[in-house]
Structure 1
Amino acid sequence: MSFDNQKYYAIVKLEEAARSIKQAVNELPILRKRLEKLKENKTKAREVYSDLQQQKNKLLSAFNTAVLSLLEMELNEMVDYSIKLSRSVKVFHIMTPDYSKLCSVLLDYISKLPVTDTTKTTNAAIIGRLMASVKMGYYPTNIEHIKWIVKGIAFPEDITVNLFDPCCGCGLALHTLAGENNCNTYGIELDRHRAEESLTRLNRVGFGSYFRSRISNEAFHIMLLNPPYLSVMTEGSRNTRSEKRFLIDTFSHIIYGGLLIYIIPYYRLTPDICRVLCDNFTELTVWKFVGNEFQKFKQIAIMGIRQKRQNGSALVSKLASLALYPDSISELSELPENRYILPKIAKKVELFKGAEFNVAELEEQLKKSNSFSKLFEKNKLDSDNKRPLLPLNIGQVGLIGGSGLINGIVECDTPHIIKGRIVKETNINKEENHNNKGELIGTTVYETRSNKMIFNLLTPQGFVSLSDYGENEEESQ
């Protein structure tokens, strides 16, 4: 795979933010002047005021997008400057007559961003960091952090808990999460070598892409989701983040009252992801990884209990703000013991099939299938002794004898061993043809091929061979 022409998500979003800020610079002064002209017409003035407020909100949203992208690029000075500028914009009164100073500051801010819309150039060091992150690709979850998560979960007694990981890797994280508890572990892994390794640790493993797998909904008490964080290009050149796509497509597998453990970098806790979480989960908490692990991978664990879908828009802003202030997030080691109590509901995973064939999964499916046992099941009628309704004719005797069904020892008054076989015989007859004068004009040859049934018998008195003719097949030439 070539990384030379990659379109990195952080850069794309920063470019979008820069364009939105520039659009605000162009439109805000125009709207303010229009509002001034229409101040005598309250109805129209109210509409323009609403447009002005919406444009300010778009500007604030663009700053939030820029901050998250800059965090991913590890440009901390620009992050601090962006947050301060965003706060100033937030308190800026839209009825201020002169917007020139605000627009000047915004244009200066755009010029300082590490990517510009005109040159399409980005600092080589930034590209290097993003490229290194992409090339690393696979981020296995740190096991010590999984142990802290386990401490915060109260597993129910007397039932088997179903655990699911849509990106299970080598299966070590999910195996650690199960621990000594009564659990069945299910994982999906795209990489075949890692999937084969995970078979040694998990109960069931599906090979191939999760998105082509078939899995029961509302069947798992816990879902551990540590998805890939790369951007994937879809039709129409829209950027769809892998971590968002995985979240939206997978949470339906969790039972209501079940627990989601969602691990992503903190700068990917964007408002759109927060909306999905707030709509579908309650008791949401966010915990950052500890020490060097957080410094290296910037990961956080978002935990929540699945609920019936509701409008969680009022909660989005508070959750999304944590990404802007990672220092305010508590470390995972501080997660209280038994913080999340799993429901005492027994569930059976009716359907679990990976996208690709693997022998272990086939074995599991055959265990559940009655068809395989029926294939080798001996019919009761076949094992009973039976007599024909009518005496057999000579042809039927020949068929039965040739098939070998009557071979073997015959227990009777004169015990003997019988073996039947069929041999082919060819008989040739010639017939001379004469004309009216009695002269020989030709010879017709008749070739008769017949199946000859031979029964060989071994009796106490010696060997006996019996034969008879069955159906004939004639050919003339």
Structure 2
Amino acid sequence: MQQPDAPRYYALEQLAEFSRTFAALADILPVYRRRLDKYLQTDKAQAKEIYELILKERTRLASLMGEARLCLLELGEEKLAAVAASLRPQLAAFPIMAPDYQKLSDILAAFAAELPQPQTASAAVIGRLMNSVKMGYYPTDPLHVEHITRGIAFPPGVTTNVFDPCCGEGLALRALATGNNCMTYGVEIDEQRAAEAQERLHRVAVGSFFHSRISHEAFHAMLLNPPYLSVLNENGGKARHEKRFLAESYEHLIYGGLLIYIIPYYRLTPDVARILCDNFADLTAYRFMGAEFERFHQIAIFGTRKQREDGTALAVPFLESITEPAKIPELSELPQGRYTLPAQPVEVPLFKGVVFNTAELARQLAASKSLSKRLAKSALDGAAKRPILPLNVGQVGLIGGSGLINGLAMCDHPHIVKGRIIKAISSTENVTQQDRLGNAVKTTVTETASNQLVFNILTPAGFKSLT
């Protein structure tokens, strides 16, 4: 049982909502059916509205049952997930004009009662979720990266840009790029992992990907293996990182660029499938192999970016193709050179992370034309020069007071010069009042302060002070 201060797990919270919805529909659908019978006799227009309402609820019910199945798989509740998978097509095809909804109502109520709840979830379920939280960082293992790389045809003679929005230590992206004439770009939020990645990748932005500044349409391929967070955020939001990373990163690919999207198969929800089908063509999915799949349930989805279009009709069959993991081909079956990267050279003008990164700053300064122009010096600027005209007395005073001519002067009579400015005060007395005998009875003294330039000169003959 969850304690009051325990984490709120996404899958459990979702199933709690599904349970309430299924129970409510179990109660209300028979009521709608009786109303439909009533209005069929008295008000055809009202009957049509009730019919359309039941049709809408039937569609929603089937969709929610599919989402419940994915959450159950995340919890490791395979038996209940199998029940949900069996119920979904039956609900979608349930005859609205069936005379009795009681059996449907009983099934929904019973299924709702069986769903795990945050307050009553078993220790085994909570344990699996806690392990999932601890292992939110899943680096792709070298064997699977090798299979992914084999399935990509890199264009000869073209340097391609490959990007990982959550690159970790950079191992996977480095392995994919090695020997394929690639520039590697990664973003990593953890500073320690980012430091490791900087040893392996060409460019690393440190900090959150969502606050980084990176050029759009600048990369030929993107390896996206987002963190799989299982808990709600601090304000209770339910946005999954795998969806947000996909939605906010795909625009960095050029059109025709390749997406490699790695997630647990039960995280491929209808909204994620819709993003993929709206923006990518030639979508395929391959599951990880052996113990790696048993441990993390990961699949790799491949697709090439296309102009955005409505992919609603494509999303459903794409989802259906991965409903049963056993029917998803293994990654080792990905044909060699299955996806060809565009033979189009592309620059990456903007690549900045949130956290100050000295290595990245040095690269940006080196590439800054405006800065180099500011710092550039011509041969004339760097050479010693004499004034075109002799200095006047005022200019000599300014230069001497500023210290620019201090030091050793090598000439026929070597000497050391030290110029400085001192404050000089002069006094003037004025008799302003006299008595009848002509004697001063009031004198005004006026003091005037001024800056005075003094040159101290040390010569072989001795010391001199000039003012």
- More displaced stretch, 402-411 vs 220-229: 402-411
* Aligned position for 2:417: 420
* Aligned position for 2:30: 29
Q: Call closer, same or farther: CA 1:431–1:55 in 2, change over 3 Å.
A: closer
| Contact 1:18–1:62 (8 Å) recurs in 2 | no
Q: Call closer, same or farther: CA 1:409–1:81 in 2, change over 3 Å.
A: same
* Aligned position for 2:107: 105
Q: Call closer, same or farther: CA 1:127–1:199 in 2, change over 3 Å.
A: same
| Contact 1:206–1:352 (8 Å) recurs in 2 | yes
Deviation for aligned residue 1:128: 1.5
Correspondences of 1:369-380 after superposition (within 5 Å): 369-378=368-377
Q: Secondary structure, in 3 states, of the residue corresponding to 1:224?
A: strand
Matched residue type, 1:180: G
Correspondences of 1:53-452 after superposition (within 5 Å): 53-115=55-117, 120-231=119-230, 233=232, 237-378=236-377, 382=381, 383=383, 385-389=385-389, 391-402=390-401, 403-405=403-405, 415-417=412-414, 419-423=416-420, 424=422, 436=435, 438=439, 451-452=452-453
* Aligned position for 1:18: 19
| Contact 2:256–2:341 (8 Å) recurs in 1 | yes
Deviation for aligned residue 1:127: 1.2
* Aligned position for 1:473: none
Distance 2:26 2:120 in 1: 22
Distance 1:418 1:369 in 2: 45
Deviation for aligned residue 1:387: 3.7
Deviation for aligned residue 1:36: 1.6
Tell me the alpha carbon deviations over residues 315-369 of structure 1, each in whole angstroms, 9 at most, x when there is no partner: 1111222443111111101100000011111100010000110110111111111
| Contact 1:230–1:242 (8 Å) recurs in 2 | yes
| Contact 1:406–1:418 (8 Å) recurs in 2 | no
Distance 1:375 1:418 in 2: 37
Matched residue type, 2:145: I
- More displaced stretch, 55-64 vs 171-180: 55-64
| Contact 2:132–2:230 (8 Å) recurs in 1 | no
Deviation for aligned residue 1:409: 5.5
Q: Call closer, same or farther: CA 1:393–1:81 in 2, change over 3 Å.
A: closer
Distance 1:467 1:238 in 2: 79
Q: Which consecutive unaligned segments of at least 5 residues does structure 2 have?
A: none
Deviation for aligned residue 1:384: 6.8
Distance 1:450 1:357 in 2: 47
Q: Call closer, same or farther: CA 1:400–1:410 in 2, change over 3 Å.
A: farther
- More displaced stretch, 421-430 vs 45-54: 421-430
TM-score where L is the length of structure 1: 0.87
Q: Secondary structure, in 3 states, of the residue corresponding to 1:361?
A: helix
Q: Call closer, same or farther: CA 1:448–1:217 in 2, change over 3 Å.
A: closer
Deviation for aligned residue 1:396: 2.4
Deviation for aligned residue 1:50: 1.9
Q: Give the paired residue count.
A: 458
- More displaced stretch, 224-233 vs 340-349: 224-233
| Contact 1:10–1:70 (8 Å) recurs in 2 | yes
Q: Call closer, same or farther: CA 1:443–1:181 in 2, change over 3 Å.
A: same
Deviation for aligned residue 1:454: 3.1
Q: Call closer, same or farther: CA 1:4–1:132 in 2, change over 3 Å.
A: farther
Q: Call closer, same or farther: CA 1:85–1:134 in 2, change over 3 Å.
A: same
Tell me the alpha carbon deviations over residues 193-234 of structure 1, each in whole angstroms, 9 at most, x when there is no partner: 000000000000001111110000000000111111115656
Distance 1:52 1:443 in 2: 109
Deviation for aligned residue 1:446: 5.7
* Aligned position for 1:47: 49
| Contact 1:209–1:354 (8 Å) recurs in 2 | yes
**Root-mean-square deviation (Å):** 2.9
